[in-house]
Chains A and B, each alone.
Chain A
């Protein structure tokens, strides 16, 4: 049950794009299409923004997109808005009814 690996930080100017990676193993990210992404603003609860690798819940802007290749999933935020400044966490099914989260990435809008 090791945490998935994410870069500690990422940044971009308003209107630019930022991509966050989430690296696991064939036992979690690589083995299942049950990768999800969560956005967390300071002092708030996490909020789902991507599920099943690339699907967006209703109400989530289409500037958020997800993908996966092998054992690495990615979240791209296109056309950065100031309100996108937050922490982002990936999560994956890890087999045996377990879930695992990523280490988290702080996105800064310059």
Chain B
């Protein structure tokens, strides 16, 4: 069965960096676009970024553009989110999610599988 397992969360000071990972199994990872979605404590879901199946195209929410970088290693079935210049408002649970559709256009279709999330807390 499909499994997405995030890791790398923790407490970090404002202005510092953190890298999240998402290990995928149970499907052909290299054929599907992947997303990061976050949820601040007690708040709603916020789309963060998407990467195409082959890593050649990446798109970001305005709130993280220029600070976050999404990437993937298809040989390791792993998705990443490099987060730089972190701010208090980046505090959230970060979920990775797969996008339905073989080699589909990034962002177009729905997110069919989600990980359990990893908590990032930005605080001094």
Please report A residues at the B interface, Cβ cutoff 8 Å.
1, 3, 34, 36, 38, 40, 44-48, 51-52, 57, 89, 91, 93-94, 96-104
Contact = CB atoms under 8 A, between A and B. Distances in A.
A100 B95 CA distance: 15
Nearest to B105: A97
A104 B59 contact: no
A34 B108 contact: yes
B64 to A, nearest CB: 11
A36 B47 contact: no
B51 to A, nearest CB: 10
A3 B43 CA distance: 12
A3 B44 contact: yes
A98 B49 CA distance: 8
Contacts of B59: 96-98
Give the dominant DSSP class at B's interface: loop
Contacts of A93: 107-109
B86 interface: no
Given A1-B61, A45-B117, A46-B95, A99 B112 contact: no
Nearest to B93: A45
B81 to A, nearest CB: 16
Interface string B33-73: 00101000000111100100000010101110000000000
Given A46-B95, A97-B59, A52 B110 contact: yes
Given A51-B112, A89-B45, A98-B47, 19 more contacts: A3-B44, A34-B110, A36-B110, A36-B111, A38-B111, A45-B114, A45-B115, A46-B45, A46-B114, A51-B109, A91-B111, A93-B107, A94-B107, A97-B50, A97-B59, A98-B61, A99-B47, A101-B46, A104-B44
Contacts of A36: 110-111
Contacts of B114: 45-47
B44 A89 contact: yes
14 contacts: A1-B63, A3-B46, A34-B109, A34-B110, A48-B112, A51-B109, A57-B112, A97-B59, A97-B107, A98-B47, A99-B107, A101-B37, A101-B44, A101-B45
A40 B117 CA distance: 13
A45 B115 CA distance: 7
